[in-house]
Amino acid sequence: MDFALSEEQRLIQQSAREFSDRALAPHAAAFDRGENPEGYVENLRELTRLGFHGMMVAGEWGGSEVGALAYVLAVAEIGRGCASTGSAMSINNLVTSMLNQSAGDDQKARFLHPICTGEKPFAGFCLTESGAGSNPAEMRTAARPAVQNGQSGWVLNGAKQWISNAGIAETFLVWACSGEIGSRQITCFIVEGGADGLSIGPHDEKMGQCASHTNEVVLEDCFVPDDHIVGELHEGLRLAFGSLDGGRLGIAALALGIAGAALDYATCYALEREQFGKKLAEHQGLQWMLADCHTELEAARLLLYRAAWLRDAGQPINKEASMAKLYCTEKGNEICHRALQILGGYGYMREFPLERHVRDIRLTSIYEGTSEIQRIVIARCLIEEYGQLV
């Protein structure tokens, strides 16, 4: 078993780390406060130029085609510097990866290629609704057959909630009920930014990842031609669930990056700060905290890397992706809280980055499937596996 990264993977990790240290970490606190939003967006454009918005996309469609392991390496490094940027990068790759897998060639040329090459670099994944979060089958956004200007298609009506990148996206994947509401006949549509009937709500005020553009997406008699359907009619749920495995790897990597940044800061602080006549790191209680945190972070990293490696090998990762997402985000939250505790009162102050890391990482155990949903997925997979042995 070889745990070494390839030369290409090391270079991608190094490139992401250098960009994060130069362009993200020094400005993350300002972005969090809502300052310099143009700089935040320009950093996202730079990620496209670095090839980081189509990392699992074939080269013929503008992707860098480097695989899932290289992708999680990059997301973790970007997340170390700025969680909001890492989150936006993860969503873009979720969209591009799904289009790469499920869209037709004409759709890839028209919609996927511009995202990957930077012509239209931002995309939104519109699945969640106010009454349909963990169970998207309960969505109420409706798609009804229609003809407009002699062109057959569908009219969409409904609202999608908490859509990442919505404020800047030029391409949206939108799921809507194409049959009876509640029938699970759900279809995925491509909706272009600026389409008639498409509107974007105000910027959501979040606890963390405050710089990311999270908004409501509203569809009012929004016409979409037939050739904007991704995959098969009524088969949108299958596409969504299939794509979420890759999305969960991205959020797990983001949690790794945030937790790693928090732990690095707390460890360095413990080596410098003195209390009771000696460094904090010389107190056994703090040593145990640091030992536990670093051990758990390394275990989370290996769990994630294995899931990504399996995906690159063409293996199913439904269980492994959920395990990685669950463990990385839950342990990441714990690590950030312990890191803040090591700083004591200083950790609670906005002058220091720990309080931002705690706020930023909290979302990772909620979106792309809550921790509770991950446990359900894992249990179902285990029951199926062991049921074959009984």
Q: What are the percentages of helix, strand and coil residues in the chain, rounded to 5?
A: 55, 15, 25
- In single-letter form, the type of residue at position 18 comes to E
Distance CA 295, CA 165 (A): 34
Distance CA 371, CA 49 (A): 33
- Between the alpha carbon of residue 191 and those of residues 44, 110, 230, the distances in Å are 21, 12, 11
Distance CA 187, CA 100 (A): 17
Q: Answer whether 54's CB lies under 8 Å from 62's CB.
A: yes
Q: Which of 77, 129, 216, 368 is catalytic?
A: 368
CA-angle at 360, arms to 359 and 361, nearest 5°: 95
368 is catalytic: yes
Closest CA to 76 of 240, 224, 256, 342: 256
**Beta bridge mates, 356:** none
**Beta bridge mates, 176:** 187
- In single-letter form, the type of residue at position 198 comes to L
Q: Which two tokens stand for residue 180?
A: 């009876």
Q: How many other C-beta atoms lie within 10 A of the C-beta of residue 149? A: 6
Q: Which residues are catalytic?
A: 368
